[in-house]
Structure 1
Amino acid sequence: MKKFKSIFYGIYIFYFVFSAFIAFYYEKIVLHWDWDWINTWTGLIRFVLQMGAIGSILFITEIIVENIHLAAKRRKIKTLENEITDLKAKLYDKANSKETSLQAETQIEKPTDTPQQPKEE
């Protein structure tokens, strides 16, 4: 997933750098290089709309990929939290069993029958 996201972000950044380059230097490209594949205003508007559509598709794809990644991370966090809760419960049970065994040992060690004094009547 990380590799895919890295490649996708590279494509995403390249797209926006290319779009910014065309937006800022369109006039220089057309006049200096005589490279006008868009020969009318209608062609320019169509090109801008196509670039916007490509950008929208890339943005929607990014949102979908991020949500998939977040859902996977949330699932992993939830399983780890459940594991932590189980380990805490086991630790608590173990501490209680030691405590009860210590109490039982102290009761066994203490003599319950104390020599009684003869009763005076």
Structure 2
Amino acid sequence: MKKFKTFFYGIYILYFFFSSFIAFNYENIVLHWDWDWISTWTGLIRLVLQMGGIGVILFLTEIIVENIHLGAKRSKIKTLEKEVTDLKAKLYDKSNASAPEPTSAPAVEKKNEDPQPPVSE
């Protein structure tokens, strides 16, 4: 899918550059160049409409490919999230099973009631 998207984006960029070239040089194309298939302004309008149709088809294809790719990624993310949740549950169960049981009375340390340190002779 990644190679297809790279190839498709290349075609899309070439189409954009070709359309931009025609948009910026339309007067030179009709008046100064001797193109047989664009001899009049109506021929140029037909070309622009055909280019627009091709652009719409390319754009719709891009949207469809992106949605397919995003759908595949979302399903992969959901399965990985489920796997993470299952692993967390297993880890929690394992930690509860091996935890020592608490005693009934907490152990209290005796404090040294003699505030003075022992004197050595």
Q: Which has the higher contact order (CA 8 A, sep 6+)?
A: 1
Partner of 2:51: 51
Normalized against structure 1, the TM-score is what?
0.78
The structure whose residues are more often helix, as a share, is 1
**Matched residue of 2:25: which SS?**
helix
Task: After TM superposition, list the pairs within 5 Å mapping 1:27-46 onto structure 2.
Answer: 27-46=27-46
**Matched residue of 1:38: which SS?**
coil
Matched, 1:73 2:57: no
What is the identity percentage for the equivalent residue pairs of Structure 1 and Structure 2? 77
2: CA distance, partners of 1:53 / 1:33: 24
Q: Compared with structure 1, are the counterparts of its residues 66 and 6 closer, same or farther at alpha carbon in structure 2 (3 Å cutoff)? A: same
Partner of 1:103: 101
1: CA distance, partners of 2:42 / 2:35: 17
2: CA distance, partners of 1:97 / 1:39: 85
Q: Structure 2 stretches of 5 or more lacking a match?
A: 105-121
Q: Compared with structure 1, are the counterparts of its residues 23 and 36 closer, same or farther at alpha carbon in structure 2 (3 Å cutoff)? A: farther
Q: Structure 1 stretches of 5 or more lacking a match?
A: 108-121
Give the aligned residue type for 1:97: A
